[in-house]
Structure 1
Amino acid sequence: MNKQLNIGIIGYKFMGRAHSNAWLKAPLFFDIPAHPVLKVACGRQQESVSDFAQKWGWEETETDWRRLIERPDIDVIDIALPQNLHYEIALAAAKAGKHIFCEKPLSMSSRQAEEMLKVCEDNKVVHYLNHNYRRVPAVAHAKKMLEDGKIGRIFHWRCCYQQDWIVDPEFPLTWQLKKEVAQAGPQWDLNSHAVDLAHFLVGDISTVSCLTSNFITERPIANENSSGNLSAEALGSEKGEVTVEDAALMMVRFKNGAVGSFEATRFATGRKNRLSFEIYGSKGSLVFDMEKMNELQYFSLADPEGDQGFRTILVTESAHPYVGNWWPAGHIIGYEHAFVHAVVDFVKAVEEKTPISPDFSDGLKIMQVLEAGLQSAESGRQILL
């Protein structure tokens, strides 16, 4: 494998680390048609981005994303930033002919998403939206089971995405709690993942009803570099308004007639990052819990009556999606591996000129559902899509 694909990443914190690890690991475990080269890491603070680049093996650094995009030697722009920064960067990257690997949620609005999609299509660049949970082997295997008709006609979808990191009222007013940066709270951050999985596994959504709630409306103002640090040095006595919701509950009807529910919250005490879904059909059921990400629960009405019950499928065999490239059967994988799988599929799409999903068209559909949810919560009415 001699061909190289030069990557420029913008952003160097949580997602910057996760993406960097994926670019590094993908060619070590998978046979892919081009070798990703960690060419340039970009961030506003030179010292911080230099430390990041040295640690992860990025060859060069840059503090102006526009200069990075203008470089003729960069093939891919990796956007590992908060959602309020995606729109402008993605438009510039697409117009420069760069392929785009973009962190979710796609944008601040469906209007932005529509323009991002159009510009990418007009410039014929690959555009990937990193809803990485699609590429958890257990989720990918659930998709195959659904396509094979294992549970029959789908009646119900039930999904929860639960975290607890802001239960403490002294947790600072970070960017995730500000509408001007985050657009919304868990409805945007968490339900974007949940809606993507629903689209992937069940189908498109036709109606949305939603309610939202705020439990803590003011929080201590953190200094710019606190990143959620609760130390006295990071927090002052002044408080600021929380301008996004703390929890969102949606009920939906799918175009295929199934009904579904979504719970997204940052106030589920004891839940650090629990994404779970249940799918109930005419022939059986599937249940997944991210806290047990190598397992899939399956119930089948085809089993003898006296033997029926939920069985655990340990999704660690070479027959399961992606798994054969990792470890021997029974050796589990973790959160970071779904990012590697995304990189593998992205590189193949770029080199083989094939589609990849989710892309910005999927992101647009997600934005439309999330916006409908907020509109429903505000108006108290069901919203038709």
Structure 2
Amino acid sequence: MARGGDIFMMEGLTRPSVRLAMHGFGYIGKIHVMAAQLAHLAGGTSLSPVWELCVVRDEHSPSGQLASQFFSRLSTHVEELGTAGLAGVDIVSPNYLHEPAVVAALRGKAGIYCEKPLASSLDRATEMTRSVIAAGRLNQVALVYRFHPAVEEALAWLKSGILGRPFTFRGVLLHGSYLNPKRPMSWRLQSELAGAGALLDLGVHLFDLVRVLLGEVCCVQAQLRTFVAQRGNAMGVRQAVTLDDWAQVNLQLTNGVLGSIELSRVHFGLEAAYFTIVCERGTLRIPLDHLQPAEVHLLAPGRAPDLPDTTQGLSAYRPAKKLTEDVLLCCHTTAIAIFLHRLQGGTLAYPVPTFADALAAEQVVAAAQSSAALGRSIRMEHSPLET
């Protein structure tokens, strides 16, 4: 697999530096910059991130002006992401703008770090993934719940065999900001731009955890609902919301495990995020909304499995809890530290989420959309792409 561009020593710095570019600089872009700096300060990476280029829609917008304080230069031309010498390109733009950024980045030699979901449609996500694989490019996707400490522990418990065979699971990711009908229309609420609502925006995280913890999905049955049917745009004109606010998805895995996923953007005041697994000799609960260990309940007394040491596990890349108690910042920091480690040619025994993994999660999303539209279960055919 081809690695990224130049990693070099900057004058006055004792650590090697890495040249990075970013596509977009909205909320999540700011989180990525914070995470990269925290990863460096916390010792999760030996590389000092140097933000050379930010491609934005408007250099004079508030986001563009803020970006100018953190990046050496700004541009409105996506083609510049193929600039020679960049080691990594971080894509944090809206879903429907990811593909041109990936195409541009592939013209250079940079590794690609992309926010989820890959694209607004399964066809475009599939084409992007094939292009990245064909180029042999180092790639990673921000399915960051994989790097939650309780997920790492849960994976170790399941692999140890102490809990026995998994029977069933339940995943919940409930947000609340879209219950307010006065929240204005945005691209996130338009199917042609976002692809889906809670099902895609939140669902890819939990569908990915299903795959990494338990196995491949073979059957999907879903219900979708839109509760706030119209919203006003910037001009005050009412527009139809064409995406789901809530989704309930029942899954069957190829190994016979059954489970359900609930996703919402309207659970105001009742926000929650967790993943539970029932096995033949006990149960697991993963508190995705807190930086706490996995809860394990055994039918009979048992010893906790040995977790991977810091050369293979995630503790070497994760910031100390006293540096951040925010779940998502911690997970993003760990993920980006690992991406920078991989840019140096490093490897990791822990499963790192790639474009192929993100595509697999988005295939479940597409099956759920079909199920809801047709009112019946959908069987999935697997033809996995490997990175």
TM-score w.r.t. structure 2 length? Answer: 0.86
Does the alignment pair 1:374 with 2:369? yes
Does the alignment pair 1:301 with 2:314? no
Which consecutive residues of structure 1, in runs of 5 or more, have no partner in the other structure? Answer: 224-235, 305-310
Does the alignment pair 1:43 with 2:49? no
- Judging changes above 3 Å, is the alpha-carbon distance between structure 1 residues 154 and 113 closer, same or farther for their aligned structure 2 residues? same
Partners of 2:318 and 2:211 in 1: how far apart? 27
Partners of 1:79 and 1:219 in 2: how far apart? 28
Partners of 1:178 and 1:199 in 2: how far apart? 28
- Judging changes above 3 Å, is the alpha-carbon distance between structure 1 residues 318 and 53 closer, same or farther for their aligned structure 2 residues? same
Residue type of the partner of 2:33?
Answer: S
The residue that corresponds to 1:99 in the other structure is 111
Does the alignment pair 1:135 with 2:134? no
Does the alignment pair 1:358 with 2:353? yes
Partners of 1:114 and 1:150 in 2: how far apart? 37
SS in structure 1 opposite 2:294? strand
Which residues of 2 match residues 46-125 of structure 1 at below 5 A? 46-47=59-60, 48-55=62-69, 57-66=70-79, 68-125=80-137
Does the alignment pair 1:5 with 2:18? yes
- Judging changes above 3 Å, is the alpha-carbon distance between structure 1 residues 260 and 43 closer, same or farther for their aligned structure 2 residues? same
Question: 1:88-115 CA distances to partner (integer Å, 9 max, x unpaired)?
Answer: 2212212333210000011122322222
For the aligned residues, what is the CA RMSD? 2.6
Given that 1:97 and 1:123 are in contact with CA atoms closer than 8 Å, whether structure 2 keeps it comes out as: no
SS in structure 2 opposite 1:222? coil
- Judging changes above 3 Å, is the alpha-carbon distance between structure 1 residues 321 and 32 closer, same or farther for their aligned structure 2 residues? closer
Question: 1:14-39 CA distances to partner (integer Å, 9 max, x unpaired)?
Answer: 11111001121212222535432111
Question: 1:54-100 CA distances to partner (integer Å, 9 max, x unpaired)?
Answer: 54x3222222221x223212221100111111122212212333210
Question: 1:112-142 CA distances to partner (integer Å, 9 max, x unpaired)?
Answer: 2222122112222111110111111122121
Deviation of 1:373 (Å): 0.2
Question: 1:253-298 CA distances to partner (integer Å, 9 max, x unpaired)?
Answer: 01111001011111213134x2211111011111122333324211
- Judging changes above 3 Å, is the alpha-carbon distance between structure 1 residues 285 and 323 closer, same or farther for their aligned structure 2 residues? farther
Partners of 1:328 and 1:241 in 2: how far apart? 43
Question: 1:296-336 CA distances to partner (integer Å, 9 max, x unpaired)?
Answer: 211011229xxxxxx9xxx9x99984278644899956421
Does the alignment pair 1:167 with 2:179? yes
User: 1:287 aligned to 285, 291, 300, which one?
Assistant: 285
Which consecutive residues of structure 2, in runs of 5 or more, have no partner in the other structure? Answer: 1-13, 381-387
The structure 1 segments of at least 4 consecutive aligned residues displaced by more than 6 Å after TM superposition are 317-320, 328-331
Partners of 1:258 and 1:125 in 2: how far apart? 34
Does the alignment pair 1:22 with 2:17? no
The residue that corresponds to 1:264 in the other structure is 263
Partners of 2:129 and 2:345 in 1: how far apart? 20
- Judging changes above 3 Å, is the alpha-carbon distance between structure 1 residues 86 and 36 closer, same or farther for their aligned structure 2 residues? same
Q: Percent of aligned pairs with the same residue?
A: 26
Given that 2:177 and 2:265 are in contact with CA atoms closer than 8 Å, whether structure 1 keeps it comes out as: yes
SS in structure 2 opposite 1:290? coil
Which residues of 2 match residues 280-359 of structure 1 at below 5 A? 280-303=278-301, 321-322=314-315, 326-327=319-320, 332=325, 334-352=327-345, 354=347, 357-359=352-354
